[in-house]
């Protein structure tokens, strides 16, 4: 009988540890989100701003890192197939010439990594 109680206690402790670890991971993920950057990224998307980039592009990576987790709110088009540097048809049709390219609702574009301030001015979004 004592062996049965010991087993149940061990299972209960293991479940508590797992639940605690899951809670910790979830709290860390939400802690890394900046509400101001989130709102800014959403404003850019709401204003019709799009970013064209490529997975292998170091300037695109730099641009994404400026937004952190808030980049998920940016309207982003990947221009390369994973494992290839070739441009896909979507970006060829859009006449993308370099990465990153930011396109605004008025049809104007800027190329290269941009500061958040520059993007905000052009799109009328405040950070």
Whether the full predicted model's pTM is greater than 0.75, yes or no, is: no
Of all residues in the chain, the percent with pLDDT exceeding 90 is 70
Asked if 29 contacts 72 with a C-beta cutoff of 8 angstroms, the reply is no
Give the residue from 124, 108, 109 showing the smallest Cα distance to 53.
109
Instruction: Write the pLDDT tens digit of every residue in 53-67.
Output: 999 999 999 999 999
Q: How far apart are CA 34 and CA 36, in angstroms?
A: 5
Per-residue pLDDT tens for 67-108? 999 999 999 999 998 889 999 999 999 999 999 999 999 999
**What mean pLDDT do residues 8-36 have?**
52
């Amino acid at each position: 009988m004592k062996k049965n109680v010991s087993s149940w206690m061990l299972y209960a402790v293991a479940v508590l540890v797992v639940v605690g670890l899951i809670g910790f991971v979830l709290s860390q993920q939400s802690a890394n989100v900046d509400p101001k950057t989130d709102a800014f990224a959403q404003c850019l998307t709401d204003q019709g701003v799009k970013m064209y980039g490529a997975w292998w592009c170091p300037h695109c990576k730099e641009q994404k890192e400026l937004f952190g987790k808030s980049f998920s709110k940016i309207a982003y088009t990947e221009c390369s197939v994973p494992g290839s540097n070739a441009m896909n048809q979507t970006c060829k049709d859009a006449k993308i010439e370099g990465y990153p390219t930011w396109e605004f609702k008025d049809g104007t574009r800027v190329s290269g990594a941009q500061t958040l301030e520059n993007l905000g001015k052009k799109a009328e979004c405040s950070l």
